Every structure is written in C-alpha cells, then in structure tokens.
A and B are shown apart, each in its own frame.
Chain A
Amino acid sequence: MTDLVAVSRARGGDADAFRTLVERHSRAIFRVAYRMTGNEHDADDVVQETFLRAYRQIDRFEERANFGTWVHRIAINCSLDLLRSRGRHERHRVNDSEDSEMSREFESSDPRPDRLLLSAELQQHVVSALDRLSGNERTAFILRHFEGMPVEEIGRTLGIQVNAAKHTIFRAVRKLRESLEPFVRSTPCST
C-alpha cells in the first residue's frame, strides 16, 4: 500500500491504514526528533505527538505532497514547541573549564573524523557541543545540516528573517568548530 493510498483510507476512518503510516515513518521521525531535542525521552514524546497531530490534521494533507515530508515538518514543529516550552538551551549549558579539560584529554588520542564509528566519548563530546548551542542555533543547524532545509524555509520555520537565519547557522557552526576543532586538528590536511 503506498503512502497516498494509506492516507486516503485513513481519512475514511481506516485505523489499519494509519497504522501502516506510523510503522513506516516512525523511525525516521524519531531520528529528526532526537537530533532536535538531543534526548531520547523527549524524542519519543515528540514522535507520539507528531502522529497524533498528523491524524488530527490528515484532512489538510494535500495529495500531491509527500507524506514523509509532511510528517517530518510536523515533527519539527512539535520539537520546536517542546524546546520552547522548556527553554531547553538554558538548562544545557556546560561548564567551560570542564569542557577544556575534556578537550585536552581527547586532543592526544588521535581522533580521526573519517572513522565511521565514533568512540563513545567522542560521541558524547559531539552531543555536548550541540547542547551548548542556543535553541534557535541548534534548530537552524539541524534543519540545515541534517534535513537539508533551505535557509529561507528555516527562517520561516523559526519566524526570523533570512539573514538572521543565515547568521544563526554561522554562529552554530562557529561554536561547534570551537568545541570540536581539537579532535580534527591532529589529522593532517588531505583531500
């Protein structure tokens, strides 16, 4: 059953058709929700809320659109609502001195960004670096970097001007660079 057929049946009250959509898209929605919220529990809540909203608004879904893209968009809005309601960026500040300590520790361990599997510690460091971003910086960065959303659309999503969206992404990248550069510096430049 294609997404379009499933949507059409779900509109007619066919619960099994909606179940098909949930089962097909929930893992992808979890990924975007996790990246946006940085927290498994919050991501699970966002996924659930996303499909509830999708169900309630399924009559608004336009048939020429892609269900996956549409439900992704709902997930992004749900994540933003959750982040705004919790003032997330305020509670994820990491102590700078502690951070420098971690950086020195990793600097000597010859980390290679090209590795497919990051060590658990390095992974944690990336998570911390993302957590240091403000709510808007994190969202703008995630939407650009992982979702490939154009800057104009990011601006609309966040309710800011295109230039402001662009600068928010720049700030996010600069902060990430400041946090993570020690781990990529030791690798010789090569193309």
Chain B
Amino acid sequence: MQHLTEEQLVSHYYGDDEPQNVSQHLAACGDCFAQYETIRRVLALVAEAAVPDRGDEYGTELWNRLRWKLGRDRRRKAGWISGLAAAAALALAFFAGHFWRARHEVAPIVATARPSATAQPPDGGNRVLLLVVGDHLDSTERVLLEVANADPGRQLDIERESRRAGELVAANRIYRQSATQNGNERIASVLADLEPVLIEISHAGATLSGTELAELQKRIEAKGLLFKVRVISAQTSNPKPRKDNDRESNRI
C-alpha cells in the first residue's frame, strides 16, 4: 500500500483535497492515520495560542487616536479643494480683467479725460476678486462668531470650526496675495490679520480649553477682526465705483 504524503495529509486537514479517497486510506492505514493525527494535534496546538486581549475600551481608545488623524486628513483634502477653487476663481478674475482691459483700451478715450493718480478702476478682475472674497469673508465671519460668542468659562467643542478654518486658510492666502497684486491694500491687510487666527483655530483640533478660548477671543477683539470683516464684506457685496475712477464716464 502506498502511503499518503505529508502534502496530502495537510490538504486533507484543510479540506483542499478529495476527502473520500484520503479518508478511506486513513481508515485502513495505521501509519498514515498516526501521521495525520500528529499534524492535526500540532495545528490544534497552534490554534490554541492566545492573542492578547484588548478589552472593551480598545475601540474607543483607538477612535480617540484616530479622530485627530482623520480630521487632519479631511482638513488637508478640503484645503486642497479650497485652494484649487480659489486658484480657479483668481484665474477667472485674471482673464476677466485681461478681457475687460483689452475691450476698453482699444476704445477711443476722450482727450479731456483726467485720469486720477489714485484711480483704481473696479475692472472685471477686481470685481470677480471682490465677489469671491465676499463669500470667503462670510464663511470666515461664521467661524469667528462661533469662537467670539462662546463661553470662556467652559471648554469649547471646536472640531467643525477647526476643520472649516483649515479649509479657509489656503483660500485666504491666495486671496491676500491676489489683493496685494491688484493693489487692493485694504482687503490684503484684513486678510493678513485673519490668517494667523484662522491658522490657530485650524490647529486647535477637537476642543479648546477655557483658557485657550479666552486667549483667542482676546486676539479677535484686539484686532477688531469681526468689525473689519463685516465692513469689507459689506463693501465687497456692493462695490460702488468711484466716479472719477470710472472709465465708462470718460468714454464717448
């Protein structure tokens, strides 16, 4: 009688063979049966090896470690999206401005036109910039209000605002640079004031202690950020072209 190989015995153990043939052989052959029993016992011994217990709280502890990482992940992803959206808006602003100038500079301008030295025409580019900055400031104001109106005597759950601030930082940076390039110093200055506060909120994580909250509220108040944001926001939502800057008035 030909004995079963070790491979056949292992396959039989895991049910990877044609069980009938092997079973019949094992029933008839004492040697093979002893071999099979040894393998079975060894594998049973391995199966008995315990895995350290992690306890009922393991999932909660793991979650507490994970939530911060997941939040950072989301902020990074959202930051990219915000950055891309801002870049797209600014590209649109650039081309709109370029198109606007091209259209109007070819038009004849009356010789009596008196261009002012301070002239900053709200051209197409600037108008798009004002529009997107307006939306950006509205979102920023909501985040600042949550912090400014919170009770400093208690810990503040700031996870959502922190995430939102992370998204706003990337856009804020691009708008500030663009405002500087367009010569819009007032907007650039307010955005520059906002940036460190947004960064701080974005780094706050899930909660702010009472002390941290009070400190942040002081900074928002000291810089008059909410007031500045509201003023600029109101202006950007209804930009009034100054008459002496309006090239339209100089055209025939």
Residues of B within 8 A of A191 (CB): 37
- Judge whether B70 and A48 touch: CB under 8 Å: no
CB contacts (< 8 Å) of B38 on chain A: these are 177, 181, 184-185
In the complex, whether B67 has a CB less than 8 A from a CB of chain A is yes
Interface flag for B34 (CB, 8 Å): yes
Are B70 and A18 in contact (CB-based, < 8 A)?
yes
In angstroms, Cα B108 to Cα A174, docked, is 94
* Structural contact, B6 and A174, CB atoms closer than 8 A: yes
Contact of B66 with A22 in the complex, beta carbons under 8 Å: yes
For B47-66 the 0/1 string (1 means CB < 8 A from A) is: 11111101000111011011
Which B39-92 residues have C-beta < 8 A from chain A?
39, 41-52, 54, 58-60, 62-63, 65-67, 69-70, 73-74
A149 to B204, CA, bound (A): 44
* A55, B46: Cα distance in complex, Å: 33
Residues of B within 8 A of A (CB-CB), count: 36
Q: Is the CB of B42 within 8 A of A177?
A: yes
A 78-99 contacts with B by CB, 8 A: none
Q: Mark B1-12, 1 if CB is under 8 A from A, else 0.
A: 000001100110
Residue of A nearest to B5 (CB): A170
A73 on the B face (CB < 8 A): no
B18 within 8 A of partner (CB): no
Given that A52-B69, A169-B10 are contacting pairs, would A27 and B45 also be in contact in the complex, using a CB cutoff of 8 Å? no
Say whether B105 faces chain A, with CB atoms less than 8 Å apart.
no
How far, in angstroms, from A35 to B73 measured CA to CA in the complex?
29
Using A23-B63, A26-B58 as known contacts, say yes or no to A113 and B51 having CB atoms under 8 A apart: no
Main SS class of interface, A:
helix
Q: Are B62 and A176 in contact (CB under 8 A)?
A: no
Do A56 and B43 touch (CB < 8 A)? no
Cβ-defined partner of B58 (8 Å) among A30, A114, A169: A30
Query: What 0/1 readout, one digit per residue, does chain A (43-56) give for beta carbons within 8 Å of chain B?
Result: 00001100110011
Q: How far is the CA of A138 from the CA of B69 in the complex (A)?
A: 31
Q: Which residues of chain B from 112 to 152 have a CB within 8 Å of any chain A CB?
A: none
Q: Mark A29-42, 1 if CB is under 8 A from B, else 0.
A: 01100110000100
A113 with B44: CB separation less than 8 A = yes
Q: Using C-beta atoms within 8 Å of the partner chain, give the interface range for chain A.
A: 35 or more
Task: Indicate whether A151 reaches chain B with its CB closer than 8 angstroms.
Answer: yes
- Knowing A27-B54, A170-B6 touch, does A118 contact B59 (C-beta < 8 A)? no
Given A113-B41, A151-B16, does the pair A126, B49 have CB atoms closer than 8 Å? yes
Q: Is there an interface contact between B52 and A34, defined as CB atoms closer than 8 Å?
A: yes
Complexed CA–CA distance, A23 and B67 (Å)? 12
Do B47 and A48 touch (CB < 8 A)? no
8 Å CB contacts to B: which residues of A176-191? Answer: 176-177, 180-181, 183-185, 187, 189, 191
CB within 8 Å of B: which of A2-38?
13, 15, 18-19, 22-27, 30-31, 34-35
The 7 residue pairs across chains A and B that have the minimum distance between CB atoms: A23-B59, A184-B41, A126-B49, A113-B45, A26-B59, A113-B41, A31-B51
Show the binding face of A for B, using Cβ within 8 Å.
13, 15, 18-19, 22-27, 30-31, 34-35, 40, 47-48, 51-52, 55-56, 113-116, 118, 122-123, 126-127, 129-130, 144-146, 151, 166-167, 169-170, 173-174, 176-177, 180-181, 183-185, 187, 189, 191
30 contacting pairs across A/B (C-beta < 8 A)? A19-B67, A23-B59, A23-B62, A25-B59, A26-B54, A27-B59, A30-B51, A51-B66, A52-B66, A113-B41, A114-B44, A115-B48, A116-B48, A123-B49, A126-B45, A127-B49, A129-B46, A166-B11, A170-B6, A170-B10, A173-B10, A177-B38, A177-B39, A177-B42, A180-B46, A181-B42, A183-B45, A184-B38, A184-B42, A187-B41
